[in-house]
Amino acid sequence: MSASLPLKDIRVVEMSHMIMGPSCGMVLAQLGAEVIKVEPAKGDKTRDLGGMGAAFFPLFNRGKRSIVLELAEPKDREIFEALLERADVFIENFRDELLQRLKITSENLRKKFPHLIIVGHKGFLSGPYENRPALDEVVQMMSGLAMMTGSRQKPLRVGSSANDIMGGMFGVIGILAALLERNKTGQGKEIRIGLFENCLFLVAQHMVQHELTGAPSVPMPNRIHAWPVYDIFQTSDDEQIFIGVVTEGHWKIFCSTYGLQEFLDDERLQTATDRINARAWTIPIVAEIIARHTLPDLVENLDRLNIPFAKINCPEDLYHDKHVLREGGLVISTNVDGETFRVPALPLEIDGSGICDRSFVPELGADTAAILGELGIKRQCDEVSPDETTVVM
């Protein structure tokens, strides 16, 4: 791990599964923190997922260390608490009832480890729903995000685990704020992130629009466009392209370039409002003209004209995108079986450089012996050196 990474002196103990908690730990690890993932003997359940879940474990657990502990066992509980004693942050995303049974409540932890920043990723924050289980799809349906993406008759979830990942990011934001506060007070904080509240944050623009205007929310596919050209068009080589003509300058140069001088001269199209109101008859004309051009020709011209555009891609198409393939755009990671895979780097640069350290997905319990050695703990009755320790569950 690069010595220049900002969290290189921070130690995190993560006891979480699925996506929201692990994504929080992954971002911290990418920023340089030492993240120790506590797993039961059977491992994180996402280790064995297939289908659309096949990427969950390798993607969100890169760069971590793995220790196997069964917290119902007294000796393993002692090891767990020894880890927390030396940690700066504890991340979990289990239901409060389970944590109470294990006596890993925030009240208990704050008494024993007042320096510790405790981060709970939950379905809901405090309130009537706080004990409900939640999934990304559940909160998208509850919050109206699925309706805005599809329609009320056919709601559609967003095509990624957007809330889980964003919830992990809010966990990181809370942790960074708590670390700054601890520098002043020496005291840790308890942080909770709600998956549902995270989704409320995403739809707040639509909630506030209704609050201010009284108008009902309109699903994105049915919305009234705020721009004269803001559409997907078919090209002559049977591709699709999105084009957004959103400023006065865009309008003039787009029309001039694509032979639409008639639009510029038309008295019915002299203001932005005029052009939006005329979309019913102008867009078919634009579509007919765009359909005469190939995708490469459109990309070259629109890029030169500085008009927003996008080819309609599949996620896997991005492995061939020249911007994604630039230096620092992808990070090489190594899975537990030794196979490498490419992952988009964190979407930020520090002093002009991306965060591109190579990371490894830990095998289950791969770091147990080493971590116990660092703690000065032996797991067997016979006296063996820490580096010879064998895990006995």
277: CATH? 3.30.1540.10
Q: What is the mean pLDDT of residues 56-66?
A: 97
**pLDDT at site 388:** 37
Which strand (E) or helix (H) includes residue 245?
strand 240-245
pLDDT at residue 392, rounded to an integer: 32
Give mean pLDDT, residues 84-98: 94
Boundary of a domain, candidates 264, 293, 314: 314
Q: What digits encode the pLDDT tens for the residues 247-294? A: 999 999 999 999 999 999 999 999 999 999 999 999 999 999 999 999
Q: What is the model's pTM?
A: 0.90
Let me know: does 18 contact 56? Beta carbons within 8 Å.
Answer: yes
Report, as an integer, the average pLDDT of 225-247.
95
Q: How many CB atoms lie within 10 A of CB 87?
A: 22
pLDDT of 382 higher than 50? no
What does the pLDDT read at residue 379?
A: 66
Integer Cα distance of 119 and 114 in angstroms: 14
Q: What's residue 224's pLDDT?
A: 79
| Mean pLDDT within 198-218 | 96
Average pLDDT of the chain, as a whole number: 93
Are the beta carbons of 83 and 13 closer than 8 angstroms? yes
Question: Following DSSP, what letter does each residue of 143-182 receive, concatenated?
Answer: HTHHHHHS-SSS----SS-HHHHHHHHHHHHHHHHHHHHH
The CATH number of the domain holding residue 141 is 3.40.50.10540
Q: Would you call 328 exposed, middle or buried from its count of C-beta atoms within 10 A (0-12, 13-18, 19+)?
A: exposed
Q: Are 290 and 266 in contact (CB under 8 A)?
A: no
384 pLDDT tier (thresholds 50, 70, 90): very low
Domain shared by 263 and 308, yes or no: yes
Q: How many CB atoms lie within 10 A of CB 116?
A: 23
Region of 221 please: left (phi>0), alpha (psi -120 to 50) or beta. Answer: alpha
Task: Report whether pLDDT(34) > 80.
Answer: yes
Best CA proximity match to 226, nearest among 272, 193, 164, 180: 272
pLDDT at 101 over 70: yes
In DSSP terms, 246 is beta-bridged to none
Residue at which a domain ends, from 266, 292, 314: 314
16 in the same domain as 128: yes
300 occurs within a structural domain: yes
pLDDT for 125-159, tens place per residue?
999 999 999 999 999 999 999 999 999 999 999 99
Residue 3 scores a pLDDT above 80: no
Same domain, 45 and 106: yes
Quick check: is 212 in a domain? Answer: no
> What's the DSSP call for residue 39?
E
**Confidence category of residue 380, pLDDT binned at 50, 70, 90:** low
pLDDT at 356: 77
Domain count, the chain: 2
Which H, E and C letters describe 193-211, residue by residue? EEHHHHHHHHHHHHHHHHH
Q: For residue 34, what are the domain limits?
A: 11-203+327-388
Same domain, 15 and 137: yes
- Same domain assignment for residues 36 and 140: yes
- 285, part of any domain: yes
Residue 21: name the closest of 110, 127, 99, 112 by CA.
99
Report the candidate in 106, 97, 103 with the shortest Cα–Cα distance to residue 133: 97
Indicate which residues carry an active-site annotation: 164
Same domain? For 55 and 150 the reply is yes
The verdict on 131 and 265 lying in the same domain is no
Q: Tell me the C-alpha distance between 234 and 289, whole Å.
A: 10
If asked whether residues 246 and 304 sit together in one domain, one would say yes
Strand duo 65-68 + 190-194: pairing: unpaired
Q: Taking 50 as the threshold, does the pLDDT of residue 228 lie above it?
A: yes
Q: Are 201 and 257 in contact (CB under 8 A)?
A: no
- The answer to whether residue 4 sits within a structural domain is no
pLDDT attached to residue 4: 80
